[in-house]
Amino acid sequence: MTFNIDEIRAQFPILSREINGYPLAYLDNAASAQKPRAVIDAMSRQMETSFANVHRGLHSMANETTAAFEGARGKVAALLGAPSSEQIVFTRGTTEALNLVAYGLAHTLKPGDEILITQMEHHSNIVPWHFLRERYGAVLKFAPVLDNGTLDLDAFKSMLSAKTKIVSVVHMSNMLGTLNPVTEITKWAKAAGATMIVDGTQAVVHSRVNVAEIGCDFYAMTGHKLYGPTGIGALYGKPAALERLQPFNGGGEMIEDVYEDRVTYADIPHRFEAGTPPILEAIGLGAAIDWFMALDRDMAWQHEMACYYHALDGLRDIDGFKLIGDAPQKGAVLSFTLKGAHPHDIAQILDKYGVAIRAGQHCTQPLMARYDIHSTARASFGVYNTLGEADRLVAAVKKARLFLS
């Protein structure tokens, strides 16, 4: 599919909506993206024509639904560059994927073992490791972030040691937009003997990901930021890494046999997918991946960054504007503050003009503390946004500046 912005926008029904009498300018994509008709139709069609529970069914619709569900697993593998669909575990999203890994690795730790993450992590890549600190005596360490939003790589390397057992790093920051060199970081982590985990929530949307080239043990992603449904995501794992994990949830589907005195587990990946899975959501994610991978990905990236820089050029002229995060390698995430104006007030004023942005801490409180700020306003661009919407963002922020002065 060539990159034609008008054709792309026409595939998103919600973009025809008006907010307060203004055409919707949806710039909250880092929180959750809108859904194309292909995803909406795929889920509706499955419910209308052939829905049943998956696996072990003996009737036609169970087999058809199972084929669609497992087909979506293969599409996730293709998106991530995974060698096999058996290395893909369906989860409710990145948060559950990271909790699955943390819980599954807990038995490998002893008091004093170290877990190294960064100051730019989302809470979903912080809190599970705090669980291991609280419950198993692990030591949690945070690698620092430089003023421009770049990870301090020298400090990161210096914090690795023989005590480092787990390294978990975000691929692309949801607040700064910074793209971290995860392939290089993986080499350092593996040289130290640590398990390497990557939070790919934002990166899979904006950059090409190949887990085989990265070399990480685990890579987590979610569907709703990738133009897919909520409640579905995935965890990639190397076979040996997945074998090390203890099952996270217990119940049907994840077992081979259950007796009064013992239980045996199903093969990977099914041993990590207890109960009825998010069947329709997985099929919707598969449709989103089909739609997304048909785009000219390089042109999509260029278009998103053009919107980002167009907005940034206009915002820089506004009195009191401050950009948070200006790393040389970053995606189209624009976090900012206005002197004397609370980000929540900015967002509410922008909504009056049909411009949807996010305001708050973005589940990154340690990063906010590092910059000595309470919160930011954040505009984040997707494939369907336009330069005109970037102009509308700037115009609305100017009105907010006047109102809040």
Cβ count near 375 (within 10 Å): 19
| Residue with the two structure tokens 């497992």 | 70
Q: Any idea what DSSP says for residue 351?
A: H
3 state DSSP class of 341: strand
- From the list 396, 379, 391, 381, the residue with the least C-alpha distance to 8 is 381
Active site residue: 19, 363, 373, 404, which one?
363
| CA distance to 10, 23, 381, 385, per residue, from 353 (Å) | 22, 8, 18, 16
CB 318 within 8 A of CB 397: yes
The full length of the chain comes to: 405
* DSSP-derived pairing of the beta strands 25-26 and 355-356: parallel
Distance CA 352, CA 205 (A): 28
Helix (H, G, I), strand (E, B) or coil at 31: coil
C-beta neighbour count of 200 within 10 angstroms:
28
Phi, psi for residue 307 in degrees, rounded to 5: -65, -45
Give catalytic status of residue 216 as yes or no.
no
Q: How many helices (H) and strands (E) does the chain have?
A: 15, 17
Of 304, 286, 303, 276, the residue nearest 381 (C-alpha):
304
The catalytic residues are 363
